[in-house]
A and B are shown apart, each in its own frame.
Chain A
Amino acid sequence: MSADAIRGERRDVEPARCREELAALKADGYNVLVDMTCVDHRARGRQPRFDVIYRLMKFDAAEGRDLGRVEVHCGVDEAPVLRSVMDLWPIADWLEREVWDMFGVRFADRPDIKRLLMYETFEGHPLRKDYPIAKRQPLIGPMDGNKPNSPSFNILKPTVTGE
């Protein structure tokens, strides 16, 4: 195996063809969805803005051997809709929920999407590059949304907050 077998070969797919490509890979033997995540390229000014990454593994269950991995990148823009793959891999349910929760990438053809880590009434998508890290919302700060008058809340690196 090559030195980067654990990452696998990178493939770029069009958002419209994303589900088809993934289904084809699954039919090809990539039976485990190891991970699914997203990168927001906004701060780097790249187009398209989001990069949704699916990490698949061809797995031999009898021997417990990893027969190869592939990293599927799907570039999607603002307010994107991708077709869900949770019927192919059930774990995609939670992973899609996390990507939606953190980045606001939407998924179609699946039951109602619910936030995974944040709470229902949370507004915005915290891992987007334009979500300020110091932003307070009800339930993770005082109810009025203002910063409390305590040193631990107010000492923030200016480079981080952009204030």
Chain B
Amino acid sequence: MSATTTTPKDAGRKTFLLNMGPQHPAMHGVVRMILELEGEIIRHADCEIGYLHRAFEKHAETETWNNVVPWTDRLNYVSPLINNVGYALAVEKLAGIEVPERGQFIRVIACEISRITDHLTCVGASAMELGSFTVFLYLIKAREYLYQLVDQMTGARITTSFTRVGGVKGDLPEGFAVKFREIAAKVREAIVESDKLLTRNRIFMDRVDGTGVISKEDALAYAITGPFLRSTGVPYDVRRAHPYLVYDRFDFEIPVGTTGDNYDRYLCRLAEIEQSLRIIEQALDKLPSGPHSLHPREMKHAYELEDMGKAGKTELIEKYAAKVDQTLEGMGKDTFGVVRAPNRWATLPAKEQTYTNIEGLMNHFELVMWSWGIKIPEGETYDAVEGGNGELGFHLVSDGGDGPYRVRCRPPCLYIMAAIPLLLKDTMIADVIPTFGSVNMIAGELDR
């Protein structure tokens, strides 16, 4: 409570200003809200962002095309894989590189896992803020199983850096489909449990039902996309409107709400988790087989392969696969051309090539060297994917060099946060918590 002011309109009625944030226990993210209160009613709200600005766009201009990928992990850090894929797709569009089919399927699987973790976090955290700590624990436990899956696939839980220009880091690990089915059952169980605990719960409904209402028109005026727009009854989803990767081959529904309140957004998110699980199941069924797990080969260390190469035993090299460090797994010859585009100007050669012959070594070296690397033709493009919160777009400008000239990220939650003052006007101060929770504001993406 910092100042007492009198609004000119109704002189005599006292309003006062209340600062919420930047560091507030109920704000999951660093954001400041300035509320002008009349008693418990918010007469005017203002939102100040930028506390987590880390100059993503500026830094991206100084990096090479592939080196920007780790930066994109830090945008929406609860669904990093979608950011990785979104950025890589935009670069590939500019360069005209086509990713092999298996690589595209793997990207879809990665994106959908991330979407589930995003929604689980959002629902869990906002339930916790409304007092349902049990739901939070159930959902975060389910998320943890998915993170384990992501860990197996990418080598990291959150900072995944999974995509490369022209493909993904590596193939799916062995036994991935089986592991996924086990985990999907656990996620479904958690959803059912939280559904039982929350959906018809009086205490929860009193807080979310009919609060934070946004109309269709307002949502469009603020260019809001994602679950927030869908909760108002508009079935817009980038996966359906502009199918990218292989999304047009899957059967999935777009859950929509009716009233655009916090309750609808909660229901939309729960329903979308189920749809994402369905997409992954279909993707795993339809996954074009790669030779990765079909031809088990004898593994040799890099130095052994190197010696064979030096001794001129090139026919032997063909028989073996390189034994690599865990972080390089899936970069052997069996996956080259299967999950990465067979384009020697854009994708790293198979590890066996790098280790055994000079052409492979030079190819690798040129691609990772400063001011050499991948050259993307001069031009400008925009591409978007459906992120956890809506349309995640990348506008890229290339001057023909080895790194981007300009990267613009369209962060979906910026648009929702811009509408927050509108949503909070003339509501009770207690409604800030469920409304803000349903935004799923991720400061990493909002402030870049």
| Residues of A that sit less than 8 Å from B by CB | 1, 5-7, 31-35, 37, 39-40, 43-44, 53, 55, 59, 61-66, 71, 89-91, 93-94, 102, 115-119, 126-127, 131, 133, 157, 159-160
User: Which of B383, B406, B415 has the most chain A CB within a 10 Å cutoff?
Assistant: B406
Give the interface segment out of B12-20, B344-352, B391-399: B391-399
Is B241 part of the binding interface, using a Cβ–Cβ cutoff of 8 Å? yes
Judge whether B223 and A91 touch: CB under 8 Å: yes
Give every chain B residue within 8 A of A89 (Cβ-Cβ): 221, 223
Judge whether A7 and B58 touch: CB under 8 Å: no
Judge whether A90 and B222 touch: CB under 8 Å: yes
Judge whether B50 and A117 touch: CB under 8 Å: yes
Give every chain B residue within 8 A of A127 (Cβ-Cβ): 57-58
Give every chain A residue within 8 A of B395 (Cβ-Cβ): 35, 37, 53, 55
Interface residue tally on B, bucketed by range = 35 or more
Give every chain A residue within 8 A of B62 (Cβ-Cβ): 133, 157, 159-160
Judge whether B220 and A61 touch: CB under 8 Å: yes
Judge whether A94 and B384 touch: CB under 8 Å: no
Is B265 part of the binding interface, using a Cβ–Cβ cutoff of 8 Å? no
Judge whether B418 and A34 touch: CB under 8 Å: no
Is B53 part of the binding interface, using a Cβ–Cβ cutoff of 8 Å? yes
Told that A39-B408, A91-B418 touch, could you supply 5 new A-B pairs with CB distance under 8 A? Answer: A39-B406, A40-B406, A61-B216, A62-B234, A91-B419
The 7 closest A-B pairs by CB, nearest first: A64-B235, A117-B50, A64-B236, A94-B418, A7-B382, A37-B408, A6-B242
Residue of B nearest to A97 (CB): B418
Give every chain A residue within 8 A of B382 (Cβ-Cβ): 6-7, 35, 55, 71
Judge whether B50 and A91 touch: CB under 8 Å: no
Residue of A nearest to B240 (CB): A64
A59–B235 alpha-carbon span in the complex (Å): 11
A114–B49 alpha-carbon span in the complex (Å): 12
Residue contacts A-B, CB under 8 angstroms, 29 given: A6-B242, A6-B382, A7-B381, A34-B391, A34-B410, A35-B223, A35-B395, A35-B410, A39-B380, A39-B405, A40-B406, A55-B382, A59-B220, A59-B236, A61-B234, A63-B235, A64-B235, A64-B240, A64-B256, A71-B382, A89-B223, A90-B222, A91-B222, A115-B50, A116-B49, A117-B447, A131-B58, A133-B55, A159-B370
| One of A32, A64, A102, A159 near B237 (C-beta < 8 A) | A64
Return A9 CB to nearest CB of chain B, in Å: 12
